[in-house]
Chain A
Amino acid sequence: MSWPLAYAKQARADLIARNRLLERADLPQCHQLHFLQMACEKLCKAHLCGSGVDAEVLRRSHAFVESVLPVIVREHLARQTGQALTNRGWVYRASKQYARQIERLAPAVTGGGSVPSNCEYPWTGPEGAVIVPAEHNFRFDFLHERGGRTLLKIIGAVADRLIHLHSPQAS
């Protein structure tokens, strides 16, 4: 199995797991956000591997989502319309904002120390308080912000497309 295919399949598995978590009203948001961050990171790695980047280099790194996810979205939009962004430019712009937030959910990405919050490990907040991800409001609102649902749909669609693209029977 190729690395692009493997990353894309795992991204899709992470998204499916996220959906299962969302069915439980009593679970903190950190868990479903963790799976979203992992899915997006793997999707970006699938895209980069497919473009020729060394998989071993990617395996050790985590800071891709902010720069690569918008590119993935832009390419997906271009495939849809057959041309550069049309009146869907706002989707691309929204994806840049979300991508930045999603990347910072990873514990290894701290925004140079300015963003210690992450969806996995406790961190030291203002005034030295220890903050627990399970009790933290990450202020993600895909349901009530413009473009949130569209972005999530695109993420799933791209995962499926990359799986199809890199599957042996597709070649």
Chain B
Amino acid sequence: MDRSKDAVMKRLINAHFDIEPDIDLIVELVGADEHGRDESIKLLEVNRSTTTDGIRPIHFGADAAHDIPFPSIIVEVTPAEFARVKSEELALPEGWQLGRQFHRPAMAQGIKS
């Protein structure tokens, strides 16, 4: 199994599309030192069912049971909040930027690794 950070990130994205039916878009969040050894996987998840509470990074540890050798940080936002993030009305944590976007796959086949 590919245990590169990019591959692990994509598996996590697929897992979240599977378990959260109201997530339509997941965006990679890129930090200033993204290739640092201890840098977490960071995802912004646009969830129609989440609460409107601004940018609240939620931390998770590495998870060997699910083949996730990296810590991760998830930021859940509503679609309206995502629009405000894109227009920079709502600020991401310092040094973080929006990266690649991953839309919910049309079929249950997941995003490609």
Q: Do A88 and B61 form a contact, CB below 8 Å, given A25-B69, A144-B15, A153-B56?
A: no
Which residues of A come within 8 Å of B, CB atoms? Answer: 18-19, 21-25, 27, 29, 32, 76-77, 80, 87-88, 90-91, 137, 141-146, 149-150, 152-154, 156-157
B: number of interface residues (CB 8 Å): 30
Residue-wise, chain B 65-92 has the 8 Å CB interface mask toward A (1 for contact) of 1101111101010000000000000000
For the complex, give the distance between the alpha carbons of A76 and B52 in Å: 10
The answer to the question of B51 belonging to the interface, with a C-beta cut-off of 8 Å to chain A, is yes
- Judged by DSSP, the binding face of A is helix
The answer to the question of B53 belonging to the interface, with a C-beta cut-off of 8 Å to chain A, is yes
With A25-B69, A157-B53 already in contact, 16 other A-B pairs whose C-beta atoms are closer than 8 Å: A19-B59, A22-B71, A23-B71, A27-B61, A87-B49, A88-B51, A90-B49, A137-B65, A141-B63, A141-B66, A143-B60, A144-B66, A150-B47, A153-B50, A153-B58, A154-B51
Q: Do A32 and B61 form a contact, CB below 8 Å, given A25-B71, A144-B15, A156-B56?
A: yes
For the complex, give the distance between the alpha carbons of A149 and B73 in Å: 10
Output the least CB separation between A136 and chain B (Å). Answer: 13
A157 contact set on B, CB distance < 8 A: 51, 53-54, 56
Output the least CB separation between A133 and chain B (Å). Answer: 15
